Amino acid sequence: YPSGNLAIIVVRDKKRLICIVQEDKLNNVEIQAVFKSNGRNTCYYPNGAVWINMNIQGGQYLDQAGNRVRRWTWPNSVVSSGAHVPLSPIFISLNRHVGVRILGQDKIAVSFLAMGQQAKFNVGTKVQVSDIGRLPPPARLGEDELLLLAIRVRILRLFDRLRGCLNFPSNKQWDKIKPPAYLITQTLKILQLCTTSDISDELRSSVRAIVNA
């Protein structure tokens, strides 16, 4: 960024490449997007809510409350039910310098523009259908990822309560105010993942305790 903060990082994790977009902050930098060479990509709103989520089968576009605005499937994907939904081109701005353009599974570009200079990163990938006409099952969340998601939601809820306390210091009922809808949605999704994921009972109890605290 013009500020000198690192905007885009490309790293190698074993056989995969990962492109990470960071916000323009010096401390406590949040991640605004993650693109992986295995086709799993996520973009986030400034408040941390999931904006766009993609995998090898397709993707979905969400609003800040966690409601699905639209979804699509890639042309070469194999869906278990329902018809293929084509992608309509998507253009979003993660911040004033970084934008994302999605035209196809292998046509996803991250562009950086500042001080008259531009850089583009092609982060799309083409996943081929297997010989038997089936795609590999989507990767499950690991134990560490699930725990981090729970901690992240817990921190966001704490920040929301702190914001309410600062905005309404004389309100004795501030601690009874419900969190925003998008945090409730994310909490419910994590609790659902606890039920469907192959994790230990101890970790499942820990995750539930974190998000329900």
Alpha helices in the chain (DSSP H): 143-167, 181-196, 201-212
Q: How many CB atoms lie within 10 A of CB 22?
A: 19
Residue 10 · residue 82 · CB < 8 Å: no
User: What is the pLDDT tens value at each position of the chain, 213 positions in all?
Assistant: 999 999 999 988 777 889 999 999 888 889 999 999 888 999 999 888 999 999 888 899 999 888 889 999 888 765 544 556 888 999 999 999 999 999 999 999 999 999 888 999 999 987 654 433 444 444 455 677 778 888 888 888 888 777 777 776 666 665 566 777 777 787 888 877 777 666 777 888 888 888 777
Both tokens of 129, joined, read: 């259908």
Q: Which amino acid is at 68?
A: R
Per the confidence metrics, is the pTM higher than 0.85? no
Q: How remote is the C-alpha of 111 from its chain's centroid?
A: 18
- Three-state secondary-structure class, residue 69: strand
Q: How many CB atoms lie within 10 A of CB 14?
A: 4
